[in-house]
């Protein structure tokens, strides 16, 4: 790759990338972050980047653990997680990264996984093509400190029943022989059997531009209250167009210069009044 990378402070890649994009809007800027980095120490910066909508790309590698520091629980670790920092099991409720992004008005929300390089490649291209901040969550195995966290979605034997691949304009189908589908019962997603009377015509048709359905999709996890086990969606959940921060900022600067002329930084720093202390 003809590229240049820089390490910033833990959790602040989003802030550094925002500054970089503001100064150099011509660059293609990618933020490579983790569940700890992007949602714990840098959680605040992540949500503000999403609402500001700089045209940058976030790759959130979610392994549900602090890997580098040797296995402490993270804000995406499941409840009751036993780690060195939670020897009796964690008692925090985890973040749902895509629901958090939705709540911060992100304009591009997608999920992929490390063990499906074809799908991941397609999602990287979609992230790149989107004008605005893209938020791509990537399920990633940490073979040392959290091995097998996403096994049910990546193993050949369970993947067809557990992973649901979203495609624009297509019905939500899954299963080894594409024999199961998702239907909406009011606001609740329910599983129907296409080999047992259910028709494809009744299924939920995926529309990346549907803001309301995206709210349901990002919440498609197991539902303990309904005792419902749902497949986990992968793909582009939501895309919308909203002006980018750096473009509006450039316009504002241009208009102000047209009205008031070019500023003088030295003059501004010196201020209107000076005193001589004797």
Ligand X SMILES: Cc1ncc(C[n+]2csc(CCOP(=O)(O)OP(=O)(O)O)c2C)c(N)n1
Q: Pattern 35-64, binding to Mg ion, x per CB under 5 A? A: xx--------------------------x-
Inter-helix orientation angle 245-260/13-23, to 10°: 40
Pairing of strands 173-174, 57-62: unpaired
Burial environment of residue 53 by CB neighbours within 10 A (0 to 12, 13 to 18, 19 or more): buried
Does the protein bind ligand X through residue 238 (CB under 6 A)?
no
Candidate list 18, 21, 34, 237; residue touching Mg ion; CB under 5 A: 34
The site partner of 144 among Mg ion, ligand X, none (C-beta below 5 to 8 Å per kind) is none
Candidate list 37, 116, 208, 246; residue touching ligand X; CB under 6 A: 37
Q: Using CB positions, name the residue nearest to Mg ion.
A: 34
Inter-helix orientation angle 43-52/13-23, to 10°: 30
Does the protein bind ligand X through residue 36 (CB under 6 A)?
yes
The site partner of 37 among ligand X, Mg ion, none (C-beta below 5 to 8 Å per kind) is ligand X
Nearest CA among 127, 124, 115, 103 for reference residue 50: 103
Query: By the 8 A CB rule, do 182 and 190 touch?
Result: yes
The site partner of 68 among Mg ion, ligand X, none (C-beta below 5 to 8 Å per kind) is ligand X
Does the protein bind ligand X through residue 74 (CB under 6 A)?
yes
**41: helix, strand or coil:** helix
Interface stretch with ligand X, choices 67-75, 79-87, 102-110, 241-249 (CB under 6 A): 67-75
Go through 152-175 and write b for each residue having 16 or more CB atoms within 10 A of its CB, e for each that does not.
ebbeeeebbebbbbbeeeebbbbb
Show the CA angle centred on residue 235, arms to residues 169 and 77, nearest 5°. Answer: 145
Q: What residues between 89 and 128 interact with ligand X by CB under 6 A?
A: none
Using the 8-state DSSP alphabet, how is residue 146 labeled?
B
Closer residue to ligand X, CB minimum distance, 61 or 204: 61
Candidate list 15, 18, 30, 67; residue touching ligand X; CB under 6 A: 67
Does the protein bind ligand X through residue 85 (CB under 6 A)?
no
Show the CA angle centred on residue 68, arms to residues 66 and 73, nearest 5°. Answer: 15
Does the protein bind ligand X through residue 137 (CB under 6 A)?
no
Query: By the 8 A CB rule, do 164 and 111 touch?
Result: no
Closer residue to Mg ion, CB minimum distance, 54 or 153: 153
Q: Using CB positions, name the residue nearest to ligand X.
A: 34
Supply the minimum distance, in Å, between the C-beta of residue 145 and Mg ion: 9
The site partner of 219 among ligand X, Mg ion, none (C-beta below 5 to 8 Å per kind) is none
Using the 8-state DSSP alphabet, how is residue 272 labeled?
S
Cα→Cα distances 246→13, 48, 117, 128, Å: 17, 14, 32, 17
Closer residue to ligand X, CB minimum distance, 61 or 234: 61
Closer residue to Mg ion, CB minimum distance, 58 or 194: 58
List residues near ligand X by CB under 6 A: 9-10, 34-37, 41, 61, 63, 65-69, 74
List residues near Mg ion by CB under 5 A: 34-36, 63, 67
């Amino acid at each position: 790759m003809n590229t240049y990378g820089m390490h910033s402070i833990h959790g602040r890649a989003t802030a550094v990338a925002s500054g970089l994009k503001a100064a150099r809007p011509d660059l293609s800027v990618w933020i490579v972050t983790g569940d700890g980095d992007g949602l714990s120490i840098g959680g605040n910066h992540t949500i503000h980047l999403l609402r500001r909508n700089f045209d940058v790309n976030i790759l959130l590698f979610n392994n549900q653990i602090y890997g580098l520091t040797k296995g402490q629980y993270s804000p995406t670790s499941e409840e009751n997680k036993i780690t060195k920092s939670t020897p009796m099991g964690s008692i925090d409720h985890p973040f749902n990264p895509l629901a958090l992004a939705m709540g911060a008005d992100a304009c591009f929300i997608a999920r992929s996984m490390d063990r499906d390089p074809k799908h991941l490649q397609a999602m990287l291209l979609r992230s790149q093509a989107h004008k605005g901040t893209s938020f791509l969550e990537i399920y990633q195995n940490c073979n040392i400190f959290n091995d097998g966290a996403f096994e049910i979605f990546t193993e050949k034997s369970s993947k067809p029943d557990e992973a649901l691949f979203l495609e624009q304009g297509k019905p939500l189908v899954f299963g080894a022989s594409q024999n199961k589908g998702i239907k909406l019962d009011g606001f609740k997603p329910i599983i129907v059997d296409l080999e047992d009377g259910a028709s494809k015509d009744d299924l939920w048709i995926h529309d990346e531009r549907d803001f309301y359905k995206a709210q349901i999709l990002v919440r498609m996890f197991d539902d303990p209250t309904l005792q419902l086990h749902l497949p986990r969606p992968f793909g582009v959940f939501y895309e919308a167009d909203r002006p980018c921060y750096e473009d509006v900022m450039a316009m504002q600067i241009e208009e102000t210069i047209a009205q008031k002329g070019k500023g003088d930084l030295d003059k501004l720093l010196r201020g209107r009044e000076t005193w001589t202390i004797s």
